[in-house]
């Protein structure tokens, strides 16, 4: 079986129709073999803006739903992810090139954040504060923001979305997701999985979760739209330098997860066997495609000769 056929079969099990995989201008290839696995249609900027408008309408309904009930939708999403962990994990491996354990591990992260968010739905506490005015008190009440924009990178194609979406849903927000052009298939799969959870939930508004398949221009629509008060963007430092000021210009909020220049420090008292394992995994795990990847290593001179030759091996 070719990877293209396997991909179509996995997507069918996850709820994505085979017709959606052809006829478009966005060519998707698996880094495993270089084989083309889809040709997706992209959304025009004007249509992307309309999608955000519909998401805003969904938000106006969803924000009035009690938080514990919103948590029930996220609980159902977690159940659907558990039921389809094998298929989605395999799809991550095909589209990104991750080893099977890392593909499955990423889906497990999605399940874990759903569990966390469900608990959070009953813990949206606010402070009650004393005041000098007789017969009065001050209190905090947390209000939903609106449409949350998510721009994700290729290296964690599904986990990043879930980290944002699970929390946003519990907090009463709608989500519009612009995935990397390198990994759109996993985004379509997540959208289909969420739709099944929403059907089981029963009365979730339409367009609560939306996916925008497109290029930089589509991302710019999301960043600049006045009805998107928060954008969570994952990618390069260069991207963050562009996105951050654009959001600040209209007083929107930014969650930027960008590249890191991470270092390891090995002290004289370190367990060298443990240090070697940690250094190797930190530098080479996920093929080095992580914002937390180890790029620099500082070793105390007293153990340099004992560590570095072993590291080179």
Same domain, yes or no, for 101 and 250? yes
Residue 257 is among the residues annotated as catalytic for this protein: yes
- Phi, psi (5° rounding) for residue 35? -75, 140
Same domain, yes or no, for 112 and 183? yes
Same domain, yes or no, for 150 and 286? no
Domain contains 2: no
Same domain, yes or no, for 186 and 172? yes
CA distance 66 to 122: 10
pLDDT in tens, 97-146: 999 999 999 999 999 999 999 999 999 999 999 999 999 999 999 999 99
Question: Of the candidates 232, 257, 282, which is a domain's last residue?
Answer: 257
CA distance 197 to 117: 15
User: At residue 1, does pLDDT exceed 80?
Assistant: no
Question: Domain with 204 in it: what CATH number?
Answer: 3.40.605.10
Same domain, yes or no, for 153 and 251? yes
Domain contains 150: yes
pLDDT of 227: 98
CA 83 to chain centre: 19
Catalytic residue, from 6, 102, 109, 291: name it: 291
Same domain, yes or no, for 292 and 149? no
Alpha helices in the chain (DSSP H): 3-14, 45-62, 67-83, 85-96, 100-120, 159-170, 184-201, 216-224, 237-249, 272-284, 304-312
Same domain, yes or no, for 301 and 169? no
pLDDT band at 205 (very low <50, low <70, confident <90, very high): very high
Count of domains in the chain?
2
pLDDT in tens, 262-285: 999 999 999 999 999 999 999 988
Same domain, yes or no, for 72 and 180? yes
Domain contains 112: yes
pLDDT in tens, 289-303: 888 899 999 999 999
Same domain, yes or no, for 60 and 74? yes
Same domain, yes or no, for 160 and 293? no
Average pLDDT over the chain, rounded to whole?
96
Catalytic residue, from 50, 257, 267, 301: name it: 257
Residue 190 is among the residues annotated as catalytic for this protein: no
pLDDT of 285: 84
Angle, CA 152 vertex, CA 222 and CA 21 arms, to 5°: 90
pLDDT in tens, 7-59: 999 999 999 998 999 999 999 999 999 999 999 999 999 999 999 999 999 99
Q: Domain of residue 172: give its range.
A: 44-125+144-257
Same domain, yes or no, for 201 and 253? yes
């Amino acid at each position: 079986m070719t990877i293209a056929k396997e991909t179509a079969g996995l997507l069918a099990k996850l709820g994505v129709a085979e017709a959606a995989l052809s006829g478009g201008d966005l060519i998707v290839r698996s880094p495993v073999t270089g084989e083309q696995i889809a040709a997706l249609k992209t959304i025009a900027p004007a249509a992307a803006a309309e999608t955000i408008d519909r998401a805003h309408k969904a938000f106006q309904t969803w924000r009035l739903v009690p938080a514990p009930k919103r948590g029930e939708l996220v609980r159902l999403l977690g159940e659907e992810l558990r039921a389809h962990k094998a298929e989605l994990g395999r799809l991550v491996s095909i589209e990104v090139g991750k080893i099977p354990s890392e593909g499955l591990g990423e889906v497990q992260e999605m399940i874990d954040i759903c569990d966390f968010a469900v608990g959070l739905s009953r813990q949206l506490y606010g402070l009650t504060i004393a005041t000098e005015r007789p017969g009065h008190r001050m209190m905090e009440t947390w209000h939903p923001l609106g449409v949350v924009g998510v721009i994700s990178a290729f290296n964690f194609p599904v986990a990043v979305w879930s980290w944002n979406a699970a929390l946003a849903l519990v907090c009463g927000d709608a989500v519009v997701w612009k995935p990397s052009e390198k990994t759109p298939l996993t985004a379509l799969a997540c959208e289909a999985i969420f739709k099944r959870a929403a059907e089981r939930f029963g009365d979730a508004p339409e367009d609560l979760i939306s996916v925008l398949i497109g290029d930089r221009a589509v991302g710019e629509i999301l960043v600049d739209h006045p009805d998107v008060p928060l954008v969570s963007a994952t990618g390069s430092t260069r991207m963050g330098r562009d996105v951050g000021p654009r959001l600040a210009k209209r007083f929107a909020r930014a969650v930027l997860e960008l590249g890191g220049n991470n270092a390891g420090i090995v002290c004289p008292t370190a367990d060298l066997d443990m240090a070697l394992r940690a250094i190797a995994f930190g530098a080479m795990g996920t093929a080095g495609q992580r914002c937390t990847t180890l790029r620099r290593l500082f070793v105390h001179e007293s153990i340099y000769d004992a560590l570095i030759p072993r590291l080179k091996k």
